Structure 1
Amino acid sequence: MFKKMLLLVGCLIFSSWAVADCVRGPNGKLVCDGGDNAGGYNPNRGTAWKSETNDAGVKSTETSRGGEAKTKNGVGVVKTPDGKTCVKTRNNQGCR
């Protein structure tokens, strides 16, 4: 029990350094690293999400319920928690 508590305290200390450059905006959105990373929590639904942008400009978003999305320039692919895959291209959109 003591080891678990010590581990938890250690994680909290290191995680506070990791998110020291994050700012919560007026809309409640948490933005980190100059906008390359973001996250949020919806207290009404009990869900959280995080988003990161890689060097190629692709934004990867994950939800606490298992959804994933990859987007760039208005096009992208979404995988829902129940396994459905949806694609939006410049000219078309649809799900399987």
Structure 2
Amino acid sequence: MKILVILACILLSSNATAECRRTATGRTVCDNGQEAGGYNRNSGTAWEAEKNSAGVTTTQTSKGGEAKTKNGKGVYESPSGKKCVKTANNQGCN
């Protein structure tokens, strides 16, 4: 269930458009003033996101999960290898 919550958060946050860059201190900061990453005190999970030139946002968690999203669609792979997909017409996990 945590995987679906993380995936939902990532997909919802990927709709915001902002250019991001890495500062001299190593932080990733976006034009909207927000850092491209964060920490959830409840789950103890930190994450960092980067957007490539094709507009795909790759988000990695401190627990080993990875999500690739674009335009509200994406794929999440958990540290154990389970994959969840959300497309325009379908969503689910294997």
CA-based RMSD of the aligned residues comes to 2.3
Structure 2: gaps spanning 5 or more residues: 1-22
Instruction: Specify the alignment match of 1:45 in structure 2.
Output: 43
Q: How many residues align?
A: 71
Q: Is 1:17 aligned to residue 24 of structure 2?
A: yes
The TM-score with structure 1 as length reference comes to: 0.63
CA distance in 2, matches of 1:18, 1:55: 23
Instruction: Specify the alignment match of 1:34 in structure 2.
Output: 31
CA distance in 2, matches of 1:33, 1:18: 14
How far off its partner does 1:33 sit?
A: 3.9
Show structure 1 runs of 4+ deviating over 6 A.
none
3-state SS, counterpart of residue 56 of structure 1: coil
Which structure's CA Rg is the greater one?
1
Equivalent residue in structure 2 for 1:86, among 84, 88, 91: 84
CA distance in 2, matches of 1:32, 1:53: 12
Structure 1: gaps spanning 5 or more residues: 1-15, 23-30
Equivalent residue in structure 1 for 2:60, among 31, 42, 62: 62
% same residue: 59
